[in-house]
Homo-oligomer: A and B are copies of this chain.
Amino acid sequence: MHMPLEVFLSLDLIHLEEALDIAEKARSAGFRCFEAGTPLIKSEGMRSVKLLRGRFPEAIIFADTKTMDTGYLEATLAFSSGADIMSVMAVAPDETIREAVRRAREDGKEVIADTLGIRDPETRIGRLIELDVDRICLHKGVDEGIFSEFDILEKIRGHGIKIGIAGGIDATTIRDVAKKVDFVMVGRAVTKASDPRRAAEEILSAIKV
């Protein structure tokens, strides 16, 4: 049985008040999963995660730390700030991923492996599964364009791992992926919209049966 799609709002902004304002609008439209984006974390620090946790106690909060080193330390930072999920880069050393997962197991939290920058998707994804990450996010960067290699999805199904997609998802493209993945990250389609609440509603209604 396929679980309901989790739609995360990626708060890829650098000002905390703007991020919280847009998150409130998305919540009123029905969003229940929020991502403290990497630029927001680098700009404002873990304060951003703590404030999201405080403002949305019932939500799933993902700290997109994009960890490349010191896996245990950065996972500790994220989880102790109230995140339910943190991210490691798939291109990070195995040891770093293992250390982040170790911390997640201690805290009953989750680790997303972000595939941005990997050049050998199938081999590396096999290794990520061995390293026991909870989720894999197939990701194209803002500087790169939109994800389109959907054939990889079929190859990594059936490992008990949640699979998601990030990068360029909007009210149109979300339909194409809604039934294929467990979660999606939506960013600019909401955060750059002239009316973020309405944009958030359009995205959620696009995936209603």
Contact = CB atoms under 8 A, between A and B. Distances in A.
Interface of A: 12, 14, 38-39, 41-48, 65-66, 68-74, 77, 89, 91-93, 95-96, 98-99, 114, 116-117, 141-144
Taking each of A71, A95, A141, A144, which has the highest tally of chain B beta carbons within 10 Å of its own beta carbon? A141
A142 B72 CA distance: 10
Given A39-B74, A42-B46, A69-B143, 18 more contacts: A14-B77, A38-B69, A38-B70, A41-B45, A42-B45, A42-B65, A43-B46, A43-B77, A45-B48, A66-B66, A68-B117, A69-B116, A70-B141, A89-B117, A93-B116, A93-B143, A95-B141, A95-B144
Contacts of A70: 12, 38-39, 141-143
A194 to B, nearest CB: 20
> What's the dominant secondary structure at chain A's contact region?
mixed
A68 B69 contact: no
B142 A69 contact: yes
A186 to B, nearest CB: 16
B68 A89 contact: yes
Contact of A45 (B45, B99, B116, B143): B45
Contact of A92 (B74, B93, B117): B117
Nearest to A71: B143
Contact of A93 (B93, B99, B114, B141): B141
7 closest cross-chain pairs (CB), A and B: A45-B45, A95-B143, A69-B141, A91-B91, A91-B117, A96-B143, A44-B45
B144 A42 contact: no
Nearest to A95: B143
22 contacts: A39-B70, A39-B73, A41-B42, A42-B45, A42-B74, A43-B45, A43-B46, A68-B68, A69-B116, A69-B142, A70-B141, A70-B143, A71-B143, A72-B143, A89-B91, A89-B117, A91-B117, A92-B116, A93-B116, A93-B117, A93-B144, A95-B144
